[in-house]
C-alpha cells in the first residue's frame, strides 16, 4: 500500500499494524472551496491521495489530513515560533476539536472512500513558562494546532473525548472498519 503522506506519525500507526508501506507524497495546494470545515478537510485529503493514485492506478493509496478547530477558527501547522505560541495560547484552558479526514483509493478497483473522525481535546491552562519550554523543544512546528498529543504536548491534555489515534493523525480503528466493509480483514493487511 502507498501512504500519500510524509507524516512519521501516520507511517508509525500503519506499519505498527502490519501494513507494508511505500511512501509517495506529492505537494499540493492545501486549499478547498468547500463550505464546511469538515468538507474542506475531506476535500484536501482526497486531493492528496488522488494525485498519487493517478500515478499508481493499480495500487491501494491512503492519505489523511488533520486540523484543529477552536471557536470556529482552523489551526493548521504553525508558520513559525510566534504562530505556534499564538496557537498554544488560544488552546490554553479550552476545549478544541481535532478533525482527521482520510482517503483510501484504488483506481483500478474503483475504490474511492473518504471519511472523517472528530474528537474533542480538553486543554489545561498553560503557563507562559510551559509554552516557552514546549516551543524550545521544536515539537510544535510540524503539527496541526502546534502540539503533538503523543509527545511532549501530552502534558497539556486534561482529557479527550474521541479517538486518540485520530488526534495523533490517523484514525486507525475507523480505517480498519472501512477496510472490513470492503472485505479486507486485519489478517490480510500485510498483503495490501
Domain layout of the chain by residue ranges: 2-191
Sign (positive/negative) of CA torsion 27, 6, 48, 51?
positive
pTM: 0.91
In this predicted structure, what is the pLDDT of residue 186? Answer: 77
In this predicted structure, what is the pLDDT of residue 166? Answer: 96
Per-residue CA distances from 66 to 18, 102, 182, 190 (Å): 23, 9, 24, 25
Contacts of 30 (CB under 8 A, 6+ apart): 44, 48, 65, 76
- CATH class, domain 2-191, is alpha beta
pLDDT beneath 70: ranges in the chain: none
In this predicted structure, what is the pLDDT of residue 187? Answer: 79
In this predicted structure, what is the pLDDT of residue 27? Answer: 87
Active site residues: 65
Burial class (CB in 10 A: 0-12, 13-18, 19+), 190: exposed
Cell numbers at 96, concatenated: 478544541
Mean pLDDT of the chain: 94
Amino acid at each position: 500500500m502507498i501512504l500519500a503522506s510524509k507524516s512519521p506519525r501516520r507511517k508509525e500507526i500503519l506499519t505498527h499494524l502490519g501494513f507494508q508501506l511505500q511512501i509517495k507524497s506529492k505537494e499540493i495546494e492545501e486549499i478547498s472551496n468547500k463550505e464546511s470545515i469538515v468538507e474542506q478537510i475531506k476535500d484536501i485529503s482526497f486531493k492528496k491521495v488522488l494525485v498519487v493514485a493517478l500515478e499508481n492506478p493499480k495500487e491501494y493509496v491512503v492519505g489523511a489530513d488533520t486540523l484543529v478547530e477552536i471557536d470556529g477558527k482552523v489551526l493548521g501547522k504553525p508558520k513559525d515560533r510566534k504562530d505556534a505560541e499564538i496557537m498554544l495560547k488560544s488552546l490554553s484552558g479550552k476545549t478544541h476539536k481535532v478533525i482527521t479526514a482520510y482517503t483510501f483509493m484504488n483506481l483500478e478497483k474503483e475504490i474511492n472512500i473518504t471519511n472523517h473522525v472528530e474528537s474533542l481535546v480538553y486543554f489545561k491552562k498553560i503557563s507562559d513558562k510551559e509554552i516557552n519550554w514546549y516551543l524550545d523543544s521544536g515539537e510544535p512546528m510540524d503539527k496541526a494546532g502546534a502540539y503533538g498529543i503523543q509527545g511532549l504536548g501530552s502534558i497539556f491534555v486534561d482529557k479527550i473525548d474521541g479517538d486518540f489515534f485520530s488526534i495523533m493523525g490517523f484514525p486507525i480503528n475507523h480505517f480498519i472498519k472501512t477496510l472490513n466493509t470492503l472485505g479486507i480483514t486485519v489478517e490480510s493487511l500485510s498483503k495490501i
